[in-house]
Amino acid sequence: MNLAGLTAHEARELLDAGEITSVELTTAVLERVSQVEDRVKAFVTVTDELAMQQAEQADARIAARDAQPLTGIPMLLKDNMVTKGVRTTCSSRMLENFIPPYDATVTGKLYEQGAVLVGKGNLDEFAMGSSNENSAFHPTRNPWALDRVPGGSSGGPAAAVAADECIFSLGSDTGGSIRQPASLCGIVGMKPTYGLVSRFGLVAFASSLDQIGPLTKDVRDCAITLSAIAGNDPSDSTSLSIDVPDYTRALTEDLSGLRIGVPSEYFGAGLEPGVESAVSAAIDVMRSLGAEVEETSLPSTPYALAVYYIIAPSEASANLARYDGVKYGFSVQDADGVWDALEKTRQHGFGPEVKRRIMLGTYALSAGYYDAYYLQAQRVRTLIRREFEQVFTRFDAVVMPTSPTVAFKLGEKTADPLQMYLNDILTIPANIAGIPGMSVPAGMSDGLPVGLQIMAPALSEETLLRIAYAYEQATDFRGKYGPPPL
């Protein structure tokens, strides 16, 4: 039996039945890491000793019949979520040797469940990128084609799940950084409603856009993981006060009565024919499952990219001001005074993309330009949010491609930042509007995965999961295409 290839719910059944132990499962996953990690490079840090300790503790809980859904299940966390005693780098030289003294809320919730941490996942530096090539350490490679990108910025967590280097992972999504790599790697990824999952302990990029969510092998695992990490947190002032349901109860195979909209703006120029064909076929499947599907319009969608690349860099320029070499992190010691030390620290500690976004944000917030850029972007953001609200008076959800392309080759777009930014054009609107979105595998194009994206009103994760699960069960991507050919 290929233990590393199991889903979380498959592993749960075997663990509870006593057919396998968490130690055996974790050993199999770590062996898989040792076999393929030199090619995939999904990890920044492998925590093998900690993982085995946690696996032994999980087995004791299972023996005492104290198991929860994720007890004993090996996981990976994106390396911008702090982990007490375990290096958290944000894939940046600035935090290369930073060891946090506390856990992020999501880390603590998963530890309470008894999940097993096998490592920290590679990302674009400070989550700024769409290909994982902005990591200060190494680019992650797509398990389906090692000469191609896994997407970003959660490329490491997505690639690790696809390559069976963990059973599930967590990523963060500021403009598509969970959904786009999920699409390119052929797995499931969800960005929850803003505020549903605590951001405490997530190293901030753009505070009004960032959200943590699951990356999993199937939709049921996504529901299980979301149930574990969602909920109010007094440590996060943006955390919503709601009762968290058992999201697995939303998983049915019937879409009768659901109204699904197809926004025409998401099927325009730049969409690869193979992607459009796969998504159109997916929409036909939804019709066959009983959904009422109609075309609709979100006319302000084309402005979302410009809005994002004003708001996100502006917030980043403020959030990253704390990295000055004084209290923690990288610090240049060979300097002529404090200001010279600060400048050199930021010059050598940040990579090119991070510095580019800090400069963009500082410019947009500067005197004389604030009203023209940042304030105007916030006004358009309100228009986009209202358009979604209007559409959701007619539809339960909207569907579209996750990414306009399949995975592109490493180095193909690094010389042109604008072309790189366009990779997020279909995912950014959900972050701008604060609504949930998810990507589910929708077949292949040219031998590479295509993602179907679903968006729904705020706090409608159950609707997303219902649609995704019904579609998944009708198409069986994992059964049809299997794991990547590593």
Q: What is the mean pLDDT of residues 470-480?
A: 96
Q: Which of 87-91, 139-143, 327-331 has the lowest mean pLDDT?
A: 327-331
CATH of the domain at 97: 3.90.1300.10
Cα separation of 459 and 386, whole Å? 16
DSSP letter, residue 245: P
Cα separation of 253 and 265, whole Å? 29
φ/ψ of residue 281, rounded to 5: -65, -35
Per-residue confidence (pLDDT) for residue 416, from 0 to 100 = 84
Question: Which residue range forms the structural domain that includes residue 193?
Answer: 3-251
Confirm whether 445 is a catalytic residue.
no
Per-residue confidence (pLDDT) for residue 342, from 0 to 100 = 87
**Which position among 131, 172, 177, 239 bears the catalytic label?**
177
Cα separation of 361 and 376, whole Å? 14
**Per-residue confidence at 417, pLDDT binned at 50, 70, 90?**
confident
Among residues of the chain, what percentage have pLDDT more than 70? 100
Q: Report CA-CA distances (Å) from 326 to 86, 330, 341.
A: 21, 9, 9
**Per-residue confidence at 422, pLDDT binned at 50, 70, 90?**
confident
Q: What is the largest CA-CA distance in the chain?
A: 70
Question: Could you tell me which residue, 294 or 328, shows the higher pLDDT?
Answer: 294
**Which position among 135, 153, 331, 460 bears the catalytic label?**
153
Domain count, the chain: 1
User: 């506390």: which residue's tokens?
Assistant: 102
Tens digit of each residue's pLDDT (9 = 90 or more) over 188-235: 999 999 999 999 999 999 999 999 999 999 999 999 999 999 999 999
Tens digit of each residue's pLDDT (9 = 90 or more) over 65-84: 999 999 999 999 999 999 99
Per-residue confidence (pLDDT) for residue 367, from 0 to 100 = 87
Q: Return left, alpha or beta for 245; rule: phi > 0 is left, psi -120 to 50 is alpha, else beta.
A: beta
Tens digit of each residue's pLDDT (9 = 90 or more) over 261-290: 999 999 988 899 999 999 999 999 999 999
Pure H helices in 64-195? 105-113, 155-162, 179-185
163 belongs to a structural domain? yes
Per-residue confidence (pLDDT) for residue 21, from 0 to 100 = 98
Per-residue confidence (pLDDT) for residue 332, from 0 to 100 = 87
**Per-residue confidence at 486, pLDDT binned at 50, 70, 90?**
confident
Amino acid at 426: L
26: three-class secondary structure by DSSP: helix
Decide: 196 and 461 in contact? Cβ < 8 Å.
yes
Pure H helices in 289-424? 304-319, 338-349, 352-365, 376-391, 417-421
Cα separation of 454 and 401, whole Å? 8
312 belongs to a structural domain? no
429 belongs to a structural domain? no
Confirm whether 198 is a catalytic residue.
no
**Which position among 22, 41, 78, 109 bears the catalytic label?**
78
Decide: 159 and 192 in contact? Cβ < 8 Å.
no
Q: What is the mean pLDDT of residues 152-167?
A: 98
54 belongs to a structural domain? yes
Amino acid at 299: P
361: three-class secondary structure by DSSP: helix
217 belongs to a structural domain? yes
Per-residue confidence (pLDDT) for residue 13, from 0 to 100 = 98
393 belongs to a structural domain? no
388 belongs to a structural domain? no
Confirm whether 172 is a catalytic residue.
no
370 belongs to a structural domain? no
